């Protein structure tokens, strides 16, 4: 593999472009959170980033491309440290804790997340692009659950299960944003564990002695 081309100062040339894009995305997220998508002008975003409007056009092919980048930065998938082979109920507890933690950390971005949803609902082209991206994400999620769960542990086909999970995550997130004091971590866990059904009862102790033991009855 060839090394990345470097500038005279020894910094890869691609770094400056990446830093510029990140700065523009961060500035756009702030402006959108304050004003909403429709009222977030490119001039406002450029000024917030300390750049010119030409910097936006040089890094993003359109306004929607910039907003898609904001969506990617602000609404990243929740990552959970699942345990391969563990039963579904345990995996859902892990997911519940992860979603609760992400809801707390994303609370300052709640207005921006709501603005994203509103913008998607009112712009069909962008909504279609996002739907296509979501479909690919569902496919990968379904494959992941099939790999880590014991066979037959899912209550429905994997491709449907991940859609239900995504809807539940989104609903819990926005409910938490509206009333953070009303949802505790245990509520998140209970919501996801409900998909696994009630806990399986522990097996009743056997009335017979264990193999290889002798019980005196006199």
Domain co-membership, 181 together with 122: yes
Neighbours of 4 (CB within 10 A): 10
Residues 60, 94 within the same domain: no
Query: Which ranges of the chain would DSSP assign to H, the alpha helix?
Result: 13-35, 42-49, 53-59, 63-74, 88-106, 110-121, 124-148, 158-178, 185-193
CA torsion sign, 85 to 91 to 94 to 98? positive
Same domain, 190 and 94: yes
Instruction: For residue 190, give every residue at least 6 positions away whose Cβ sits within 8 Å of its Cβ, in sequence order, or none.
Output: 96
pLDDT reported for residue 214: 36
Residues 6+ apart with CB under 8 A from 93: 189, 192, 193
Domain membership flag for residue 99: yes
d(C-alpha 45, C-alpha 47), whole Å: 5
Same domain, 61 and 113: no
Tell whether 140 and 40 lie within a shared domain.
no
Kindly state whether residue 162 falls inside one of the protein's structural domains. Answer: yes
Structure confidence at residue 215 (pLDDT) = 35
User: Is 105 found in the same domain as 46?
Assistant: no
User: Which residues, at least 6 apart from 47, have a Cβ–Cβ distance to it below 8 Å?
Assistant: none
| Stretches in the chain below the pLDDT threshold 50 | 1-12, 208-218
Question: CA-to-CA distance for 154 and 98, rounded, in angstroms?
Answer: 20
* DSSP state at residue 107: G
Report the CATH number at residue 61: 1.10.10.60
Is the residue at 79 inside a domain?
no
Distance CA 210, CA 146 (A): 37
Q: Kindly report, residue by residue over 141-196, the tens digit of the pLDDT.
A: 999 999 999 888 999 999 999 999 999 999 999 999 999 999 999 999 999 999 99
Same domain? For 58 and 113 the reply is: no
Residues 58 and 92 in one domain: no
In a domain? residue 81: no
Instruction: Supply the pTM of this predicted model.
Output: 0.71
Contact partners, residue 134, CB within 8 Å, separation at least 6:
166
Task: Provide the domain count of the chain.
Answer: 2
The Cα 213–Cα 156 span in angstroms is 44
Give the pLDDT score at 3.
40
Mark whether 157 and 102 lie in a shared domain.
yes
Look up the domain containing 61 and give its range.
17-68
Angle at which helices 110-121 and 13-35 cross, to 10°: 90
d(CA 102, CA 79): 9
């Amino acid at each position: 593999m060839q090394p990345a081309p470097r500038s005279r100062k020894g910094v890869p040339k691609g770094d400056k472009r990446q830093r510029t894009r990140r700065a523009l995305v961060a500035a756009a997220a702030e402006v959108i959170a304050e004003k909403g998508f429709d009222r977030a002008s490119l001039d406002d975003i450029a000024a917030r980033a300390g750049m010119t409007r030409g910097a936006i056009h040089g890094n993003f092919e359109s306004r929607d491309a910039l907003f898609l980048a904001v969506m990617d930065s602000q609404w990243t998938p929740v990552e959970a440290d699942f345990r391969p082979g563990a039963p579904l109920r345990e995996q859902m507890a892990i997911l519940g804790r992860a979603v609760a933690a992400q809801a707390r950390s994303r609370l300052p971005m709640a207005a921006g997340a709501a603005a994203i949803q509103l913008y998607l609902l009112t712009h069909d082209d962008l909504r279609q692009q996002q739907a296509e991206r979501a479909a690919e994400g569902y496919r990968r999620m379904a494959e992941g659950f099939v790999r880590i769960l014991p066979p037959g542990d899912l209550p429905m086909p994997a491709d449907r299960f991940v859609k239900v999970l995504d809807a539940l995550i989104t609903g819990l997130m926005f409910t938490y944003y509206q009333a953070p004091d009303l949802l505790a971590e245990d509520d998140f866990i209970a919501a996801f564990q409900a998909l696994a059904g009630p806990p399986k009862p522990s097996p009743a102790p056997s009335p017979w002695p264990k193999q290889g033991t002798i019980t005196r009855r006199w």
